A and B are shown apart, each in its own frame.
Chain A
């Protein structure tokens, strides 16, 4: 039977690695791709920034619904959580829609899906950045 002996040095490096991974996750959530950029994964960083940005811009351009915290029902609350996933791009979507959402047309409805997909995709990307920084993913 083998026993793992944790010296203070390894424990410290584990702790700093965990902190860095957490910072990468949060940075990746706030600015899409930043979590990967901090780890010098440039290709992934650019792709996530561009794809999440494109989804947000297209969604807002189609006048999709950018949910607020005071939605009222469960769907609005879930939509708000999904939209929040895009981090700072949530604010960009708000800025990009000066006249508000228009879901009376099919375009607005599609736009809502684009915005939600951008948020969920960014959450996946941030989680990937966190896992990669911990050494679990390549």
Chain B
């Protein structure tokens, strides 16, 4: 999941921002959100896992 989030965040950063600093900020922000949502959904499913 971390690898997936990292690769997609880098691509999104280059896709949607032009200035290097903006790209880095966008990459970090989208990486954080990917991980947050992934782990959040994982925990949300936990009560129904058994």
**Residues on A close to B: CB < 8 A?**
43-44, 47-48, 51-52, 54-55, 58, 110, 113-114, 117, 121, 124-125, 128, 138
Contact = CB atoms under 8 A, between A and B. Distances in A.
B11 interface: yes
Nearest to A43: B14
Nearest to B18: A138
B4 A51 contact: no
B8 interface: yes
B14 A117 contact: no
A51 B18 contact: no
B11 A125 contact: yes
A58 B3 contact: yes
Nearest to B13: A47
B41 interface: no
A44 B7 contact: no
A125 B16 CA distance: 10
Given A47-B10, A51-B10, A128 B3 contact: no
B44 interface: no
Q: Using C-beta atoms within 8 Å of the partner chain, give the interface range for chain B.
A: under 10
Contacts of B3: 58
Interface string B1-24: 001100110110011001000000
Contact of B14 (A47, A58, A113, A138): A47
Contacts of A114: 4
B14 A55 contact: no
23 contacts: A43-B14, A44-B14, A44-B15, A47-B11, A47-B14, A48-B14, A51-B8, A51-B11, A52-B11, A54-B7, A55-B4, A58-B3, A110-B4, A113-B4, A114-B4, A117-B4, A117-B8, A121-B11, A124-B15, A125-B11, A125-B15, A128-B15, A138-B18
